[in-house]
Amino acid sequence: MGENGSFIKNRAGGTVRLAEMAAEKIRKMIIENMFEAGEPLSEISLAEMLNVSRTPIREAIAILEQEGLLTTVHGKGAFISEQKRSDFKEINDLRMVLEPLAAASAIYTIPPPELAEHMSVWTHFLSEFESGMELSATKLAEKDDELHFMYINSCGNKRLQSFLRVLRFQTNCYVYAHWNTRESIGETIRQHIDIISAIQNRDEASLNEAVKAHIEYNNRFIGIYMQ
């Protein structure tokens, strides 16, 4: 593949730019805390790790900087952004206003089979948790993302979608930590089930309450567990 506008096939049969695929892989490493806050990222090392040239790596870094995950210092390169409790609180304050709006806008557009699939996933998680099984934080975080993006991507407001995607990427570092904290897993799984149930029932008032309760619970987690 060439670096200038070349495309490759993804699993869904569409096309994605190589830089976007690189950004996705680097984003996942950041979210899973494979780097320390403030750690510099080497374009050469990343290019070798992902088996691409430095051009798509530079483009990926630009994408991740826009998402707030990286900070670029002129003449020094890119560094992992340091996010404090106050940063996550600010992000969640915005989510508290914007996510219920997105969910309500999507309440009649998400197909029932898609909702049923999400409900099956989360009720299965709950069953496993209540039986004492250890759940994968990576898998939980992945399905968490899928659920939130289900209504974000279906809300029909492109600007709202774009803004919430960035906020979501910025919260994913603590979301991953959240799923590694067993005390919070059961309650958070139940909150996701409440959100799906409200959408299935086309109950906007319950949906608004469920989304806000979930974000407020995130805020309490940040206050207790995040330094």
Q: How far is CA 114 from the centre of its chain?
A: 19
CB burial class (10 A; 0-12, 13-18, 19+) of residue 86?
A: exposed
Looking at the DSSP bridge assignments, the partners of residue 70 are 80
The mean of the pLDDT values for the chain is 87
Whether the predicted pLDDT of 194 surpasses 90: yes
pLDDT at residue 126 greater than cutoff 50: yes
Identify the pLDDT of residue 140. Answer: 93
**Domain co-membership, 36 together with 90:** no
- Looking at the predicted structure, is the pLDDT value of residue 13 above 50? no
Structural domain ending residue among the three candidates 31, 60, 80: 80
Q: Does residue 1 form part of some domain?
A: no
- Which residues, including other chains, have CB under 8 Å from residue 199's CB and lie 6 or more apart? 103, 106, 107, 110, 115, 151, 207
pLDDT computed for residue 34 by the predictor: 86
Q: What is the pLDDT of residue 223?
A: 67
- Which segment, 4-8, 96-100, 170-174, is predicted with the most confidence on average? 96-100
pLDDT in tens, 43-71: 999 999 999 999 999 999 999 998 888 99
Amino acid 221: pLDDT = 78
- The reply to whether 130 falls in a domain is yes
Q: Residue 145 is part of which domain span?
A: 85-225
CA-to-CA distance for 53 and 166, rounded, in angstroms?
26
Confidence tier at 8 by pLDDT (50, 70, 90)? very low
Average pLDDT over residues 104-133: 97
- Name the least confident of 3-12, 55-64, 211-220: 3-12
Domain CATH code at residue 113: 1.20.120.530
Q: What pLDDT is recorded for position 227? A: 54
Q: Is the pLDDT of residue 1 over 70?
A: no
Identify the pLDDT of residue 86.
Answer: 84
56 occurs within a structural domain = yes
Q: What is the pLDDT of residue 226?
A: 58
Domain count, the chain: 2
pLDDT of residue 105: 97
Here the CATH number for the domain that contains residue 33 is 1.10.10.10
The answer to whether the beta carbons of residues 185 and 129 sit under 8 Å apart is: yes
**Residue 156 · residue 109 · CB < 8 Å:** yes
**Mean pLDDT on 9-29:** 69
The rounded percent of the chain whose pLDDT value lies above 90 is 59
